[in-house]
């Protein structure tokens, strides 16, 4: 907000808050004293003088009085008078500079080959201070030991540094433009709190007292041996270990006045993760005339382990100048550890058979095991079968061969498993902590407390999804147009969910397998070589996707259906209202109060019935007209997930230049936009993004008054079309390169996130990640958008020697 | 050379797989850093760990920003929600107390906290009770002491639930499988069961325990309350006398602070030091927190009494008489006068717990409480806004009001007087807060039960028995200790007893529960209520006629409503602020059962209280 916008905004707030009667008693009390009409300045000034003055003070004095009435704080008033305006958004956002360097070398001879690369990345984000660096090296080696044995290893090692401190950019939206930006003035009272109030904090202040190291070292490797056996057999064995070490060290200095009382505090966290997998694969490939066989047998085992230690301390009595290098100097040592363990295994067999390369059959079966289901149902079996027919090879298709190059019909059925749950979800665990008591001498000591935190479900099992797919691949007109069409239906059984429990049992939910979810969808992908000239080419690809889901069954709890007189007329399965899962509905559909505008002046009495709403507050429809908003007034609204999506890629080549443009769109999804209620900040102490607001003189229907009461949830459509990427590259002429003995070189420039069009969504990027906070008592999981998606400009040079 | 290494490696890996996959236990889960109840809760030690969870859960009621205890105080005649800068806080109960509303939130109400955490506490206690026979104990005494303490914790929750929510589901064992068919139980039968459990606890739980653990005396106090709810006043009096004989009131100054200027015995009694002091005989049950003891960062271990109860003096609208910002947390750099440090001396309040005129003035009579150390007439114990001084750094060099006492701004709006301008009992809410800049009230132990309350409960028992002389004797024990003059038997009535509870037990008692208990007792005893013209209350329709949105505001339906609207100068007196008008209705005697509890209980029916939406689906029980 600019200074003027801020003062207008604050005026609307204080005038709205104090109400008509107050404004009648003190006419124009909140108006700029230089712009009074029908009120004299002296009388106006005396509104808040205990002893009325008789002569008019100087203008600055009048302005101070005015701004105090608008609840501006002392430094804000000083800055107004001195005309010091700070654009906080400009201070926290930057143009981030990103660098990426790669050098690689590879070589190959008859018995061995290798590849070696070095890569360094330094990425700045769009928020000041947001940055990470990554150094990565990779070595791939393969050696032929004998004619039948090949061994190799692919190994990469990386060092990532994330110990950079990002400015608290969220604050920039709530500090008023008159807040004091004087971090460097050590004598100022407003270094940390730009208005002197506890709410807005200088986005850079606390970071200047933090010292952080956050290093990730990762080592991933794949070591393998391949034995070629007679009669078309081949045996391969892989061992894939992966290590991650993380060192997070953070110190908050006692020199920060805010933390001084705590005497400095430190955290040192060391974490190690070690996962490995072993795969043994036996393959057999054989061709007998028209019959082609491929058989694959797989055996797999995996283990994942992690070890984490957190050491913290505080209160160094000021002796914290060594930061996190000497935590034994702190007087409040505390340790924590958390280790985890999981295992899994799999057996798989697959047969591929084709006849005349025209009819193809793939059949497979796999049996998976996972320790999270280890108590009773660790393993599950998933079969699949697929059939494909290349019908253009058939004789009767001869007549069409002048336009149809290729056509293949696919049919498949398969079952998939899902094990996406926490590794200990099925087990009951006890949370432990320490609780203080006082002994007879008056000493406070700690004693362990334990309580059962999770309800066990030993019967928990794999989720399985069986799907039918029918597809057609084709290529027409000498490969000018190709593509595929797919349609599928899938039935997911035993979905892994947190089933809500009546909370009085002491657990909110239990990990459970939920009944049945149906899923159907359709996808078309088209690819066209629209123009193919010697010097100019245009290739275009378009994909369209649509998907629908529906809950068919939940837990099988039947309840009575009653008519208006309370007589039982049948039975139906109970919905899970707490989780907002309803039989016959998409779990992504919102079920809530329906917003029908904003209460307007004159509707006071009607509005007041609904939790004391007032003009300027969002108006929600009382569906059954009983004068109270309850579950009976919730209705099915829009969907969280897009109703359809499409992407469109275009590549143009002109001589040595190539241009690529990528556009995509998600359509029909909705998201919460409660910020439209203009109540997300304390308006008496802060400010907000500039956005429309309701006032009696601006009776709009999609935004509420400042500091409104919002008794429901406002949803806004988030459909968008995004021009995601434009890139242009130029291959440097060979004639030139030959002179400097370079094999090839290419210069390219790209812009990502170029633009988007979102007709309804006005609150920043329609795709900015964001997060939901889960309130255990209310399922309206409040949505908070993430930080804006950056637009990146990329220039790169690729040289091969 | 190299070649042979690779060969060995690949053979090795094949071998490892073979062994691993063949092992029967390969997929057995292993929680390395978590305890398993079946191997932990097997002896006295494990059981005491589980009891510690009950005692920690007990602590949460009093600690933190908008601690649940505030909801209990606001649903009474003592105080109201003073927050005026946002929608949501419980100002108009017709709007705030609805089954579908967010009932457990810092910004709304903690009604749902009592439901949700109450059943959590019951679960922790039931974990012990259900496993008592499979665990190994040294002897029967040890076993019964553990079982008694668990009974205490279960009864402590049910006593609250039956007074806040009336008829509620009764769970008397640990549940290890999902269950969806709960029903509400008659509150009187739950109380009867609690009475017998507590008699067992009172017999077996040891007298001497470390502070913070469950004591025999604590079991006794709760047993007294249950006996009173069931109108067994004689048993309550017997237990009360046993308790006070062993735990006399503190009548003389104590702790290291006893010679501090401008303090008195009441400061001593409610200080952090008193709660650690072995000579303190008055405390019967405590919850414990202490600075820098729980080293994991735990914001909920701070009591935050000052943040909650002290007025919002730091508001921009607390201005000097010439219209300048008057107060500040930060002082001018060279300021040395300690009396200007309002933040340090009183804490930075936000005026959430706004006292009523009843609590700040009416109960402190110029004759009988003239020398009462607990009251506003004692200028050491209480603070008025006018005791604070203008301290804004910007005033220091230029403004004549700097360092002068506050004067109420002439055009302060009603909203701002609600939040920024009232008096408060400094001796009780002041708690040092050494580790943060903005003082809110730090870690401290807190009383759950004190002997003073036992005397007041005995006084009330004698009132019900129409023995006003004995009632006066017990009231006067508490009154004279605090410096108030004794009252005569002829002056004793239920109003006097409730006034005395307010004087003594602010920020300690569950005020709403006590009013509801008395409301039920009037219906049970049919005793005419002398403070309402001899009115007799009936148990039938105690919540009024019901009906969605009926929001009945009529005297004579229940004692809780009559008392609250006749003493509070806010509720139903037309006091408005931006986000609502202060209102209560007769059915708010009992709170709404959170809709989620009813909705998830798909195969049974948990009844909603009369007057709230959903009560039409109730089944008789």
pLDDT in tens, B471-515: 999 999 999 999 999 999 999 999 999 999 999 999 999 999 999
Q: Which residues of A touch B36 (CB under 8 A)?
A: 427-430
**How far is the C-alpha of A605 from the C-alpha of A583, rounded, in Å?**
38
User: Which residue of A451, A684, A706 is the best one to mutate when testing the B interface, meaning the one whose CB has the most B CBs within 10 A?
Assistant: A451
- pLDDT digits 0-9 by tens, A207-221: 999 999 999 999 999
Q: pTM score, two decimals? A: 0.88
The whole-angstrom separation of Cα B85 and Cα B79 is 18
In this predicted model, what pLDDT tens digit does every residue of B404-439 receive, in sequence order? 999 998 888 888 899 999 999 999 999 999 888 889
User: Chain B contact for A470, CB < 8 A?
Assistant: no
Interface of A with B in 56-95 (CB under 8 A): 64-65, 68, 71-74, 78
- Go through A520-546 and write b for each residue having 16 or more CB atoms within 10 A of its CB, e for each that does not: bbebbbbbbbeeeeeeeebbbbbbbbb
Check pLDDT > 50 for residue B11.
no
In angstroms, what separates the C-alpha of A725 from chain B's closest C-alpha? 43
Under the banding of pLDDT at 50, 70 and 90, the label for residue B10 is very low
Q: Do B602 and A778 touch (CB under 8 A)?
A: no
**Shortest Cα–Cα distance, B492 to chain A (Å):** 39
Q: What Å distances lie between residue A680 and A610, A687, A695, A713, B392, CA to CA?
A: 20, 10, 17, 13, 28
The domain locations on chain B are 37-301
Nearest CA among B443, B483, B464, B618 for reference residue B546? B618
Residue of A68, A334, A578 with shortest CB distance to B295: A334
Q: Are A704 and A710 in contact (CB under 8 A)?
A: yes
Handedness of CA B255, B256, B259, B261 (dihedral sign): negative
- pLDDT bracket for residue B23 (50, 70, 90): low
A726: CB partners within 8 A, 6+ apart: A659, A660, A661, A662, A750, A751, A754
A315 contacts B277? CB cut-off 8 A: no
CA pair distance B470, B443, nearest whole angstrom: 39
Residue B105 and residue A777: Cβ atoms within 8 Å? yes
Residue B3: the pLDDT is 42
- Asked if B296 reaches chain A (Cβ–Cβ under 8 Å), the answer is yes
Number of H helices, E strands in chain A: 9, 33
pLDDT at A746: 84
Of B2, B182, B392, the CB nearest to A74: B392
CB pairs under 8 A between A and B: 372
Task: Answer for the pair B271, B260: CB distance below 8 angstroms, yes or no.
Answer: no
Where are the alpha helices (H) located in A26-106, listed in sequence order?
41-45, 59-69, 74-81, 88-92
pLDDT at residue B568 in the model: 96
Which pLDDT score, from 0 to 100, does residue B4 have?
43
Cα gap A706→A556, rounded to integer Å: 47
> Would you call A439 and B296 a contact, using CB atoms and an 8 Å cutoff?
no
Rounded CA-CA distance B580/B88 in Å is 9
Task: Provide DSSP, A88-143.
Answer: HHHHHB----EEEEEEEEEEE-SSEEEEEEEEEEEEE-SBTT-EEEEEEEEEEEEE
A447–B288: do the CB atoms touch at under 8 Å? Answer: no
pLDDT of residue B579: 81
Nearest residue in chain A measured CA to CA from B439: A261
Specify the pLDDT at position B163. 97
pLDDT at B295: 65
| Residue B595 to residue B608: CA distance in whole angstroms | 9
Burial of B397 (0-12, 13-18, 19+ CB in 10 A): exposed
Say whether A87 sits in a helix, a strand or coil.
coil
CB–CB of B413/B315 below 8 Å?
Answer: no
Residue B299 structure tokens:
């914001």
Q: Which residues of chain B have a CB within 8 Å of the CB of A683? A: 85
Q: Looking up tokens 């690689």, which residue turns up? A: A104
Residues of chain A in contact with residue B214, where contact means CB-CB under 8 angstroms, are none
CB within 8 A of A393, min separation 6: which ones?
Answer: A356, A357, A358
CA distance B368 to B265: 19
Per-residue pLDDT at A296? 93
Tell me which chain A residue has its CA closest to the CA of residue B437: A258
Q: pLDDT for B259-270, tens place per residue?
A: 999 999 999 999
Which chain A residues are within 8 Å of B55, Cβ to Cβ?
435, 449
What is the distance between the alpha carbons of residues A239 and A232, in angstroms, rounded to a whole number? 23
Do B17 and A278 make contact, defined as CB atoms within 8 angstroms?
yes
Long-range own/partner contacts, residues A21-27 (CB < 8 A, 24 or more apart): A22/B413, A26/B411
> What span, in angstroms and rounded, lies between the C-alpha atoms of A239 and B13?
7
- E strand segments, A713-791: 715-717, 720-731, 744-757, 771-775, 778-784
pLDDT level of residue B6 (50, 70, 90 thresholds) = very low
Determine the angle formed by the axes of helices B511-525 and B216-229, rounding to 10 degrees.
40
DSSP B469-508: HHHHHHHHHHHHHHTPPP--GGG--HHHHHHHHHHHHTTT
Q: Which two tokens stand for residue A762?
A: 């006005």
CA distance A521 to A526: 17
Structure-token pair, residue A299: 């055996």
Q: Which residue from B239, B147, B157 is spatially nearest to B197, judged by alpha carbons?
A: B147
Q: Assess contact for A673 and A714: CB atoms under 8 A.
A: yes
SS3 content of chain B, % helix, strand, coil (to 5): 45, 5, 50
pLDDT tens, position by position, A106-160:
888 888 899 999 999 998 888 888 888 999 999 999 998 888 889 999 999 999 9
Cα dihedral B558, B561, B566, B570 in deg (nearest 10): -170
Position B561 confidence tier, pLDDT thresholds 50, 70, 90 = very high
Whether A568 and chain B come into contact, CB under 8 Å, resolves to no
Which tokens is A258 given? Answer: 């805010």
Mean pLDDT for B325-333 is 89
B587 with B557: CB under 8 angstroms? no
- pLDDT, residue B142, reads 95
Nearest-angstrom CA–CA distance, B606 and B182: 6
| Contact map slice: B 166-195 vs A, CB within 8 A | 169, 171, 175-180, 182
pLDDT > 70? residue B244: yes
**According to the model, what pLDDT value does residue A431 have?**
79
Chain A nearest-CA distance from B499, in A, is 32
Check residue A223 and report its DSSP letter. Answer: E
Tokens of B479: 């009154």
Interface of B with A in 566-605 (CB under 8 A): 578-581, 594-597, 599-603
> Rounded to a whole number, what is the distance in Å from the CA of B314 to chain A's nearest CA?
9
Q: How high is the pLDDT of residue B621?
A: 65
Residues of B in contact with A149 (CB under 8 A): 7
Instruction: Show the tokens assigned to B418.
Output: 């609600």
Q: Which CATH architecture has domain B37-301?
A: Alpha Horseshoe (1.25)
Residue B17 has pLDDT above 70, yes or no: no
Report the residue of chain A nearest B289, measured CA to CA.
A436
Mark the ranges of chain A whose per-residue pLDDT is less than 50: 773-781
**CB B410 within 8 Å of CB B365:** no
* B288 near A CB under 8 A: yes
- DSSP letter, residue A37: S
Q: What are phi and psi of B256, to 5 degrees?
A: -65, -15
Nearest Cβ partner for B35 among A278, A432, A710: A432
Between CA A457 and CA A707 the distance in angstroms is: 45
pLDDT for A784 equals: 57
Give the pLDDT score at A786.
59
Instruction: Centre a 10 Å sphere on the Cβ of residue A357 and count the other Cβ atoms it contains.
Output: 10
Selection from B311, B342, B321, B345 nearest residue B395 by Cα: B321
Q: Which two tokens mark A471?
A: 């597809």
**Biggest distance spanned by C-alpha atoms of chain A:** 114
In this prediction, residue B1 carries a pLDDT of: 37
Best mutation site among A42, A444, A511, A618 for testing chain B: the one with the most B CBs within 10 Å? A444
Please say if the pLDDT value at position B15 is more than 50.
no
Give domain limits for chain A.
3-71, 558-573+588-800
Mean pLDDT of B156-185: 94
Helices (H) and strands (E) in chain B, counts: 23, 8
Cross-chain residue pair B580–A189, CB shorter than 8 Å: no
Q: What is the mean pLDDT of chain B?
A: 91
Could A257 and B437 be called an inter-chain contact, meaning their C-beta atoms sit closer than 8 Å? yes
Say whether the ipTM exceeds 0.90: yes
B589 closest CA partner among B618, B612, B607, B617: B612
CB proximity B46 to A under 8 Å: yes
């Amino acid at each position: 907000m600019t200074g003027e916008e801020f003062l207008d905004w604050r005026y609307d707030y204080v005038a709205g808050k104090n109400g008509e009667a107050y404004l009648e008693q003190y006419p124009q009390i909140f108006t700029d004293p230089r712009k009074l009409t029908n009120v004299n300045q002296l009388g106006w000034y005396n509104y808040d003088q205990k002893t009325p003055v008789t002569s008019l003070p100087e203008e600055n004095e009048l302005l101070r009085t005015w701004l105090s009435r608008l609840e501006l704080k002392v430094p804000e008033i000083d800055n107004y008078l001195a005309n010091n305006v700070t654009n906080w958004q400009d201070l926290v956002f930057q143009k981030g500079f990103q660098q990426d360097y790669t050098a690689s070398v590879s070589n190959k001879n008859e018995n061995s080959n290798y590849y070696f690369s070095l890569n360094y990345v330094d990425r700045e984000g769009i928020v000041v201070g947001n940055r990470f660096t990554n150094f990565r090296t990779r070595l791939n080696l393969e050696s032929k030991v004998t004619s039948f044995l090949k061994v190799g290893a692919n190994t990469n090692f990386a060092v990532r540094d994330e110990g950079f401190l990002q400015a608290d950019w969220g604050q920039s939206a709530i500090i008023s433009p008159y807040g004091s930006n004087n971090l460097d003035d050590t004598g100022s009272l407003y270094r940390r709190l730009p208005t002197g109030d506890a709410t807005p904090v200088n986005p850079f202040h606390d970071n200047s007292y933090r010292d952080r190291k956050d290093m990730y070292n990762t080592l991933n490797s794949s070591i393998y041996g391949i034995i070629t056996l007679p009669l078309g057999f081949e045996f391969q064995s892989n061992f894939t270990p992966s290590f991650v070490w993380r060192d997070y060290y953070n110190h908050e200095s006692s020199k920060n006045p805010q933390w001084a009382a705590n005497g400095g505090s430190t955290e040192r966290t060391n974490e190690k993760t070690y996962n490995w997998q072993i795969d043994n694969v036996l393959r057999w490939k054989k061709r007998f005339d028209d019959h082609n066989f491929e058989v694959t047998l797989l055996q797999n085992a995996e283990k994942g382990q992690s070890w984490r230690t957190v050491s913290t301390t505080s209160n160094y009595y000021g002796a914290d100048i060594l930061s996190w290098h000497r935590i034994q100097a702190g007087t409040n040592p505390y340790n924590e550890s958390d280790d985890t363990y999981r295992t899994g295994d799999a057996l798989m067999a697959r047969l591929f058979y084709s006849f005349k390369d025209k009819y193809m059959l793939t059949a497979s079966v796999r049996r998976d095991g996972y320790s999270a289901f280890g108590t009773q149902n660790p393993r599950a079996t998933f079969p699949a079968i697929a059939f494909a027919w290349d019908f253009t090879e058939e004789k009767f298709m001869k007549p069409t061969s002048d336009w149809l190059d290729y056509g293949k019909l696919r049919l498949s059925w398969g079952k998939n498993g899902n094990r996406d749950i926490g590794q200990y979800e099925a087990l009951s665990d006890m949370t432990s902590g320490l609780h203080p008591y006082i002994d007879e001498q008056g000493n406070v000591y700690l004693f362990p407390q334990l309580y059962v935190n999770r309800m066990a479900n030993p019967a928990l099992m794999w989720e399985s999804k069986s799907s039918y797919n029918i597809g057609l691949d084709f290529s027409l007109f000498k490969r000018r147009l190709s593509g595929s069409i797919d349609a599928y239906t899938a039935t997911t059984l035993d979905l892994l969910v947190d089933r809500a429990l009546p909370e009085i049992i002491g657990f909110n939910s239990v990990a459970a397998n939920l009944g049945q979810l149906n899923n159907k969808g359709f996808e078309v992908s088209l690819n066209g070589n629209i123009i193919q000239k010697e010097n100019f080419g245009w290739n275009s690809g378009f994909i369209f996707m649509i998907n629908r889901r529906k809950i068919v069954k939940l837990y099988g709890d039947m309840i009575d259906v009653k008519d208006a007189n309370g007589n039982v007329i049948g039975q139906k399965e109970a919905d899970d209202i707490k989780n907002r899962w309803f039989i016959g509905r998409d779990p992504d559909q919102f079920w809530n109060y329906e917003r029908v505008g904003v209460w307007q002046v004159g509707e006071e009495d009607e509005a007041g019935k609904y939790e004391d709403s007032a003009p300027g507050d969002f108006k929600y429809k009382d569906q059954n007209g009983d004068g109270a908003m309850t579950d009976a007034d919730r209705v099915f609204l829009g969907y969280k997930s897009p109703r359809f999506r499409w992407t469109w890629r275009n590549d143009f080549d002109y001589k040595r230049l190539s241009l690529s443009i990528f556009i995509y769109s998600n359509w029909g999804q909705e998201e919460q936009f409660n910020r439209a209620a203009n109540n997300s900040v304390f308006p008496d102490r802060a400010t907000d993004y500039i956005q429309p607001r309701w006032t009696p003189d601006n009776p709009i229907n999609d935004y509420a008054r400042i500091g409104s009461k919002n008794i429901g949830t406002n949803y806004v459509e988030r459909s968008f079309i995004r021009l995601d990427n434009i890139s242009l590259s130029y291959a440097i002429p060979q004639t030139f390169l030959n002179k400097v003995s370079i094999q090839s070189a290419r210069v390219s420039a790209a812009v990502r996130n170029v633009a988007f069009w979102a007709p309804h969504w006005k609150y920043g990027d329609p795709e900015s990640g964001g997060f939901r906070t889960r309130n255990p008592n209310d399922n309206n999981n409040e949505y908070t958008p993430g930080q804006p998606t950056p637009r990146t400009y990329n220039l790169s040079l690729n040289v091969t020697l | 050379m190299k070649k042979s290494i690779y060969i060995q490696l690949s053979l090795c890996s094949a071998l490892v797989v073979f062994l691993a996959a063949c092992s029967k236990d390969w997929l057995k889960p292993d929680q390395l850093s978590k305890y398993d109840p079946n191997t932990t809760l097997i002896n006295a030690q494990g059981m005491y760990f589980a009891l510690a969870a009950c005692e920690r859960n007990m602590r949460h009621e009093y600690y933190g920003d908008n601690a649940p205890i505030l909801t209990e105080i606001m649903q009474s005649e003592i105080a109201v929600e003073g927050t005026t800068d946002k929608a949501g806080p419980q100002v108009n109960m017709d709007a705030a107390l609805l089954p579908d509303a967010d009932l457990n939130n810092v910004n709304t109400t903690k009604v749902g906290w009592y439901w949700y955490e109450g059943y959590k506490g019951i679960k922790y206690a039931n974990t012990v009770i259900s496993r008592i026979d499979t665990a190994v104990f040294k002897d029967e005494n040890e076993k019964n002491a553990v079982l008694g303490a668990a009974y205490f914790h279960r009864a402590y929750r049910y006593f609250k639930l039956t007074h806040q929510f009336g008829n509620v589901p009764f769970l008397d064992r640990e549940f290890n499988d999902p269950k969806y068919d709960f029903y509400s139980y008659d509150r009187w039968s739950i109380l009867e069961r609690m009475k017998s459990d507590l008699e067992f606890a009172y017999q077996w739980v040891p007298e001497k325990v470390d502070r913070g653990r469950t004591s025999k005396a604590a079991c006794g106090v709760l047993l007294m309350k249950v006996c009173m709810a069931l109108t067994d006043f004689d048993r309550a009096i017997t237990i009360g006398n046993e308790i006070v004989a062993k735990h006399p009131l503190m009548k003389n100054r104590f702790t290291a602070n006893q010679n501090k200027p401008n303090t008195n015995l009441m400061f001593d009694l409610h200080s952090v030091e008193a709660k650690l002091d072995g000579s303190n005989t008055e405390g019967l049950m405590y919850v414990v927190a202490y600075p820098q003891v729980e080293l994991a960062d735990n914001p909920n271990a701070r009591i935050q009494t000052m943040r909650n109860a002290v007025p919002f003096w730091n508001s921009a609208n607390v201005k000097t008489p010439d219209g300048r910002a008057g107060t500040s947390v930060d002082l001018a750099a060279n300021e040395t006068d300690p009396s200007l440090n309002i933040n340090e001396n009183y804490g930075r309040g936000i005026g959430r717990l706004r006292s009523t005129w009843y609590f700040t003035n009416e109960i402190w009579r110029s004759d009988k409480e003239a020398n009462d150390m607990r009251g506003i007439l004692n200028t050491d114990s209480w603070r008025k806004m006018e005791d604070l001084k203008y301290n804004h750094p910007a005033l220091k060099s230029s403004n004549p009001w700097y360092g002068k006492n506050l004067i109420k701004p002439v055009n302060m709006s009603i909203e701002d007087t609600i939040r920024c301008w009232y008096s408060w009992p400094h001796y009780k809410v002041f708690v040092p807060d050494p580790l943060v800049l903005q003082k809110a009230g730090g870690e401290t132990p807190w009383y759950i039960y004190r002997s003073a309350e036992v005397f007041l409960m005995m006084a009330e028992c004698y009132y019900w028995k129409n023995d006003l002389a004995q009632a006066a004797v017990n009231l006067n024990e508490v009154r004279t200790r605090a410096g108030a003059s004794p009252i005569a038997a002829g002056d004793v009535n239920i109003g006097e007893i409730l006034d005395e509870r307010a004087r003594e037990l602010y920020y300690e008692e569950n005020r709403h529960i006590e009013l509801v208990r008395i409301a039920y007792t009037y219906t049970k005893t049919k005793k005419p209520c002398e403070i309402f013209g001899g009115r007799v209350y009936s148990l039938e329709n105690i919540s009024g006629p019901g009906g969605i949105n009926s929001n009945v505001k009529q005297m004579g339906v229940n004692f809780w409503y009559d008392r609250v609207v006749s003493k509070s100068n806010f509720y139903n007196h037309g006091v408005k602020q931006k986000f609502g008008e202060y209102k209560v209705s007769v059915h708010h005697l009992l709170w709404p059962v959170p809709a989620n509890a009813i909705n998830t209980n798909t195969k049974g029916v948990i009844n909603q209280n009369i007057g709230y939406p959903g009560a039409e689906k109730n089944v008789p029980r």
